[in-house]
Structure 1
Amino acid sequence: MDGDTGKIGDLPIEPNLILETSPGNGQPFWLFDRPLKPAEAKPLAEALKRATGSDNGTADVTHVWRVPGTLNWPNRKKLERGRSPDPVCVTVAQAWAGELTSVEALTDALASWSTTHAEPAPIAMGDLPDVASLKVSQKAARLLAANDVGDRSAHAASVAEQLAFDGHTAEAALALFLSATGDWLARYTTEERAKADFARCWTKHGAKHGEQRAAWSAMAGRVANKPTPKPANDNRPSTAIDAQTLLSMDFPPVAYVVPGAIAEGLTILGGRPKLGKSWLALAVAIAVASGGPVLGQHCDQGDVLYMALEDNRRRLQDRLRTLLPSVKQLRPDLSRLELDTEAPKIDGGLIDRLEAWRLAAANPRMVIIDTLAMVRPAKKKTQDSYEADYAALSPLQKWAGEHRLAVMVVTHVRKMEASDPLEMISGTNGLTGAADSILVLNRDADGPKLYGRGRDIEEMEKALLFDNGRWSVLGDAVEVKRSAERRQVLAALEDALGSMSPADIAKVIGKPKANLNVLLTKMVKDGEIVKVSYGLYAHPGKTGNTD
């Protein structure tokens, strides 16, 4: 029963259950006190369709109806009516209280609709208004201006029905009908014939909408099943909230899957090809599914879906055996880690796939998609690169946020270095803009590093070690680099025959002199080296040699 098309009439008897399939649209159910054979059910279904003015599915006794918790994806016709392209979760608007409807009671209630109604009497027409004073919807305007429509009578019926659905009176609709600029109107040989055809169309297809629109208002109240809050003013949208109310609200804390690195929401993991992104992604999946450690942090256990879309089962098995203990008895239980090597595109059913996994999992925590290129939808002709990148990830970000799950998408980085690690992610800023957090795995002269930044994680950069498929954290990248440089300075001073200047030390260890002066001052303060005179430094064990 679609309120956005006007296909809704009054209900002949109170339903036992109502589902809300999308905003303003519902499916009422009558649960019978006894089973019916198709031959007995068919006349009831057809009478119910006529009573409610609903669509053809009502009269189809084999029709498959919506299921609570599943997603309702709009088809092309619904999109053309202005429905959002985002799927809507089917919910229970009026729960079943355990009561059943008597078949006889419904039969009696539908008695007046048990046979097809005769055509209504022709409408009485008053004076026509000036079309300049009438507002026309975009859809009605397109119908009025259409050319080459084929069946003129069928098109005229569509025009009359749309004008009625838009709320026009018969007089206003006729005035607009006669003002049509499309060539279909010129196919009437006289204006009287056009008026006569309009009257036929309005009587058969249009007049019912006025009554049905009023009936839907009553139905919508039952479907909503809750009072509508009064807005502070007519201009405030339902999503707005005043700051004082927001301050008084309590929200659960952010859920971290890998503390300090991966939180609920959408995370992008970018890295160069063959650097070890997939090894890191699989290590994270194992840690979360088993409640084990990764990146120096312990993870709370939960269900994980890892989509290894560039691998096959044999390679996945090899990698699992590499990362897990060789002794089977020491391996963790990985029954909560689901692996898949195939997935639909993001705009071709991926969200449905993720939702099915979420509903089946006992404690869903994380989804890993490796890689983005395998699920990314094709760029539309009307999109620029930024719009295409942002639109590609938005459904994943929305789904993750709605269910407070972590979704990590693996992708590549540019070949060229960038001052800001986020700029290394391959693509436009639309990708990083759609994500909640970004992780960049990179390798430079100091070794591999993992940089992270996001809405719910603090900026961090860790120095890593990669050994036989396993990633481990050495510490904060700055501290690790400083420690390595200090060891280099101590080694240079220990090997020297005497004291050394900053320029001498920089030449030996291959570092810029400008970067070394600050480090030498800190090392003197910490007692690691000795400043023997102005601009000269020595190892603590060789302070006797000052030449």
Structure 2
Amino acid sequence: MSYDFGIKKLAEVTPSNETPFLIEGLVHRTATMIYGRPKAGKSFVALSAAMALGEGTEWLGREVEQRTTLLWALDPGQEDETLQRFKTANGSDTSHLYITGVRPEDTDEWWAEFTDILLANGVDVLIVDNLSALLGRGSYNNDSDVRPALGRLQALLNEDIAVVLVHHAGKFNEEQGSQKSPMGSTAIEAWGRHFVQVTDDQELRILRVYGNNTPEKELGIALNFNGEGDDGAFVTLIGEEETVAMSAEHDELVARAKARWDSRKDKQKKQGRSPEQKAKADRNRGTDHASQIKAYMSKSPGDWIKQGTITASVPGNSAVLKSALDAMVGNGSLETKTQGRSNLYRLAS
């Protein structure tokens, strides 16, 4: 095989020693999404992470290397509000955390200039708060509105600028999104490499963390809106644990998977959706169709009737009715012939 275009044997690849995270297990060096319901505290969590990155201080028990970080505050009045929160949390004057409230324009020229400015100023991390405001008049439920914006953020990733995107979570029975996933178009979740879902349980906040490079886990934190925190601005780590057994023993993993399989099959059976039940129902439907076809054609005994007339007059899917007609011809209940492009049937004499 030719070895052009970087093609090589997988066994010959030299592994990278670089961690995929800027903050281990929490903020990815490419695309991270922090999402949650309104008032869950996702913007406070994002600002706390931004302050840790800008100052190079520990965050939720993880060491953090100082990075030039830009917070893109897109809601009206958010720039002033964020400054007040920064001061409340005693943000450092030596922090490499910057902010802008500029509104994006929907042109390639604007985004190219914006990207050049970020690169010229050595921005390592862009925190976008939030996707809804970034889209402007667009809707995050529409692929056609979402994909151009996500594509422009992807262009920043291609320049090695990490992007943290703040977004909303869905709610139960909402048209698009669910309580456990980002709201809107599936393109949104497909864009992310790493996710931090923020939910609230009174004083306790739960960070559900999952992605391509880490086992799913939950972190419990206290979120103090007055700025105090033992493990970063506003945040104090209460506890954490893995919630998916990526490191479980093989036999344990197989046993849990089998239990899920058995539970799934039992549920299908109770709901009448097992393969055996479906097959029986299909057979019953076939018998019903045959009886219905015979009853309809008995009104005109001896007449040849077009297939289209039969399928239009007898209830049921036309493909299923055609299968029933073929079966009836096979068992001798019907006779058939062709006339031009039409199939004709009549009751067997």
Please confirm whether the aligned pair reaches a TM-score higher than 0.5, indicating the same fold. yes
- Indicate the residue corresponding to 1:376 in structure 2: 135
- Indicate the residue corresponding to 1:292 in structure 2: 57
The Cα offsets for residues 346-399 of structure 1, whole Å up to 9 and x where unpaired, read as 6553453133122222xx32110111112227669xx99345434431331342
Pick closer, same or farther for the CA change 1:455–1:391 going to 2, 3 Å. Answer: farther
Partner SS, residue 298 of structure 1: coil
Q: For the Cα contact (< 8 Å) 1:345–1:375, is it kept in 2? A: no
Of 456, 459, 472, the residue aligned with 2:236 is 472
Deviation at 1:270, TM superposition (A): 0.6
Deviation at 1:266, TM superposition (A): 1.1
Deviation at 1:462, TM superposition (A): 0.6
Within-5 A mapping of 1:186-205 = none
The Cα offsets for residues 3-38 of structure 1, whole Å up to 9 and x where unpaired, read as xxxxxxxxxxxxxxxxxxxxxxxxxxxxxxxxxxxx
What is the Cα-based RMSD across aligned positions, in Å?
Answer: 3.4
Partner SS, residue 152 of structure 2: helix
Q: For the Cα contact (< 8 Å) 2:217–2:242, is it kept in 1? A: no
Deviating runs (4+, > 6 A) in structure 1?
none
- Distance in structure 2 (CA, Å) of the matches to 1:317 and 1:296: 25
AA aligned to 2:103 is A
Of 4, 18, 36, the residue aligned with 1:271 is 36
- Distance in structure 1 (CA, Å) of the matches to 2:106 and 2:236: 32
Corresponding position: 1:314 with 2:80: yes
AA aligned to 1:315 is E
Partner SS, residue 287 of structure 1: helix
Pick closer, same or farther for the CA change 1:465–1:347 going to 2, 3 Å. Answer: farther
Percent identical? 19
Of 221, 232, 235, the residue aligned with 2:2 is 232
Q: How many residues matched?
A: 232
AA aligned to 2:53 is V
TM-score w.r.t. length of structure 2? 0.57
Pick closer, same or farther for the CA change 1:373–1:346 going to 2, 3 Å. Answer: farther
AA aligned to 1:471 is V
- Indicate the residue corresponding to 1:411 in structure 2: 167
- Distance in structure 1 (CA, Å) of the matches to 2:241 and 2:197: 13
Within-5 A mapping of 1:71-470 = 232=2, 242-244=7-9, 247-249=12-14, 251=16, 253-310=18-75, 311-324=77-90, 331=92, 333-334=94-95, 336-345=96-105, 347=107, 349-350=110-111, 352-361=113-122, 364-376=123-135, 385-386=142-143, 388-400=145-157, 402-416=158-172, 423-444=180-201, 447-468=204-225, 469=227, 470=234
Deviation at 1:299, TM superposition (A): 0.9
- Distance in structure 2 (CA, Å) of the matches to 1:417 and 1:477: 29
- Distance in structure 2 (CA, Å) of the matches to 1:358 and 1:372: 22
Deviation at 1:245, TM superposition (A): 6.3
Partner SS, residue 288 of structure 1: helix
The unaligned stretches of length 5 or more in structure 1 are 1-230, 326-330, 480-547
Deviation at 1:411, TM superposition (A): 1.0
The Cα offsets for residues 56-83 of structure 1, whole Å up to 9 and x where unpaired, read as xxxxxxxxxxxxxxxxxxxxxxxxxxxx
- Distance in structure 2 (CA, Å) of the matches to 1:375 and 1:351: 16
* Greater percentage in strand: 2
Pick closer, same or farther for the CA change 1:379–1:315 going to 2, 3 Å. Answer: closer
Deviation at 1:332, TM superposition (A): 5.4
Deviation at 1:316, TM superposition (A): 2.4
The unaligned stretches of length 5 or more in structure 2 are 228-233, 244-349
Whichever of the two has the greater Rg, that structure is: 1
- Distance in structure 2 (CA, Å) of the matches to 1:357 and 1:295: 28
- Distance in structure 2 (CA, Å) of the matches to 1:347 and 1:246: 44
- Distance in structure 2 (CA, Å) of the matches to 1:345 and 1:437: 27
Pick closer, same or farther for the CA change 1:354–1:294 going to 2, 3 Å. Answer: farther
Partner SS, residue 441 of structure 1: strand
